[in-house]
Amino acid sequence: MTAATGDQKKQYVLVPGGAGFIGSHCVIELITAGYAPIIVDNEHNSSAGCLKRVEQITGCQIINYKIDCLDLENLPNIFKKYLIYAIINCAALKSVGESVQKPILYYKNNVGCLLNLLTCMEEFNVKNFLFSSSATVYGTPKYLPLDEKHPCIGDTITNPYGKSKYICEHILKDT
């Protein structure tokens, strides 16, 4: 691949879903820690207005691309432009109820986005990845409160949203 043209002194962190609630808070923390976040968000569950507030809070101009992670034609262009140090993936459809009514949409979006990001990571040699999952991967709780020792048993997950996150976790274990 051609060399990235972004400022090579900065450590760029790609934040798919960075205009959402969790993603925008990650962006603030990244800026505070000295990183240069790059937002990729289709604004399905968020808005550019959220990023304006982040800019007000941090005093920094946000690099933002209104791109869907399913768009494998345009997503690699960001990797060509910037030398990406890490990815924090907060992009996902997240409504449990809607996932029951539109399961294919949830699998296509949540798993497809992850696969596209992993494809770009492999192509552009990005080694650092953080996945924003969900407590829904634990299914029906065996005990409360949930902790990291709680078993994740796919058969106990009650909705396609949780199953899509569970599948993503297994893909990450395999790669």
| Residue 105 structural domain | 12-174
Is the whole model's pTM more than 0.85, yes or no?
yes
128 domain-assigned: yes
Q: Which residues are catalytic?
A: 161
Backbone conformation region of residue 34, classed left if phi is above 0, alpha if psi is from -120 to 50, else beta: left
Across the chain, which distance is largest between two alpha carbons, in Å?
Answer: 51
End-to-end CA distance of the chain: give it in Å, rounded.
21
| CATH assignment of the domain containing 31 | 3.40.50.720
Q: What is the pLDDT of residue 149?
A: 85
26 domain-assigned: yes
> Of the candidates 167, 171, 84, which has an alpha carbon nearest to the alpha carbon of residue 121?
84
Contact criterion met (CB below 8 Å) for 106 and 164 = yes
Estimate the crossing angle of helix 112-124 against helix 160-174, to 10 degrees.
20
- CB count, 10 Å around CB of 93? 19
5 domain-assigned: no
7 domain-assigned: no
- What 8-state DSSP symbol labels residue 155? G
> Of the candidates 68, 75, 138, which has an alpha carbon nearest to the alpha carbon of residue 105?
68
41 domain-assigned: yes
Q: What is the pLDDT of residue 4?
A: 60
Cβ within 8 Å of residue 27, ≥6 positions away: 15, 18, 37, 39, 51, 54, 62
Q: Each residue of 127-137: pLDDT tens digit?
A: 999 999 887 76
Q: Each residue of 148-165: pLDDT tens digit?
A: 788 777 678 889 999 999
Q: Each residue of 2-61: pLDDT tens digit?
A: 446 566 678 999 999 999 999 999 999 999 999 999 999 999 888 778 999 999 999 999
Check whether the bond before 141 is cis (ω within 30° of 0).
Answer: no
71 domain-assigned: yes
- Domains in the chain, number: 1
Q: What does the block give as tokens for 3?
A: 């060399």
Q: In whole angstroms, what is the distance from residue 72 CA to residue 66 CA?
A: 13
3 domain-assigned: no
